[in-house]
Amino acid sequence: MKEIHLKAKSSSGGTYDVTFQNKGGLLIVFCPCKAGIYGNLCKHKTRLLNGDESILYNQDDAPALREVR
């Protein structure tokens, strides 16, 4: 898996660019929301990792989300 960027909807109506990377067999996920900046497992990371396509800002990104999963 290459580096994948997905835009997740925020509860305030904005978006967050969530990044997924494979580094040596480990999945690294970064979200620039308040919780994500501190390395916490935020709702954007959790919902995307669970395959929740409803949080995607652009539904055209659904195939990339399936690749992450």
pLDDT at residue 1 above 90? no
Residue written as tokens 């999963």? Answer: 69
List pLDDT tens digits, range 37-69.
998 999 999 999 999 999 999 999 999 999 988
Nearest to 47, CA basis, from 35, 39, 56, 38: 56
Q: Please tell me the pTM assigned to this model.
A: 0.89
Cα of first residue to Cα of last residue in the chain, in angstroms, is 10
What is the percent of the chain with per-residue pLDDT over 90, rounded to a whole number? Answer: 81
Mean pLDDT of the chain, nearest integer: 93
